[in-house]
Structure 1
Amino acid sequence: MSATTEEAPKGPRFTKVYDRGWDRIGQLVTLKGGPTVAKLWVFLARHCGHDNALACTVDVLAEELECSERSIIRAAKYLEQNGALTIAKLGTANVYILNDGEIWKTYEDHKRFCGFRTKTLISEKANPGLKRRLTHMTGKAPASDLFE
């Protein structure tokens, strides 16, 4: 097999943590910025896609981390000001893009790409009845349940 046709390794999903990433983790462990900062960074690192990005609304993060939306906004601002992430707007949601010099979710040679195909999280609170509608789409529920 030539070097140009190298196959991607098989196995579980991974996250590469660089020295700067370990420095960030060390800072978060001391809770500099508060516990919500640490919880938010770890949540984003765990759930972002292969491009280090995750799109969702503030209320989804608040619901998942069991804190207020204001706490999420403050924590995200702290992380952005300290170089841990960049925040891009997507309508009423945000795209949280983690610093690729600290952690990276896929193969090293993919860093030169800048295509965002992110995992998107939505909240149950903002989408009442979604589970029922999705169940109907997959044929597991009668049509009469669609709009109840």
Structure 2
Amino acid sequence: MMTAQIPDEFKDLLERPIYATVATVMPSGQPQLTEVWCNYDGEHVLINTARNRQKERNMSARPMVTLMLRDPDNPYRWMEIRGTIELTEEGAQDHIDELARKYANVSKYYGGWSPAEMEGKETRVTGIITAVKVNAFNPPVKLDLIKK
């Protein structure tokens, strides 16, 4: 399967602390959507979750996802990333701490964002997304249609 590239002019959506929506596939075939933190290593988009959450079960059984990011400064500018996902526990705790620094400005996920007593009670996993199709849109003119 060929991989797709993230367009340079949209990489900021992965570098800024913008919430992404990840779509996974339920056993019934119905989509399941969750807002997630994410980052980009220059090749893959990375997300993080815990074992046995619905999205983790879905991704383990059906390793395909779609990630949607929308620019909060211009909701008409967006990027959709369709791809495959590989889950790994290796480095997942460090990864969630990295995401907590990016999104919540705290040094650690457990005890900073999530209650400290949850540490060790769940197993973190990093989802490594390989893009196979990227759709992106940036309006050709500045649209000022948002009501203030």
Which structure features the higher share of strand residues? Answer: 2
**Structure-1-length-normalised TM-score:** 0.31
- Which has the larger helix fraction? 1
Larger radius of gyration: 1
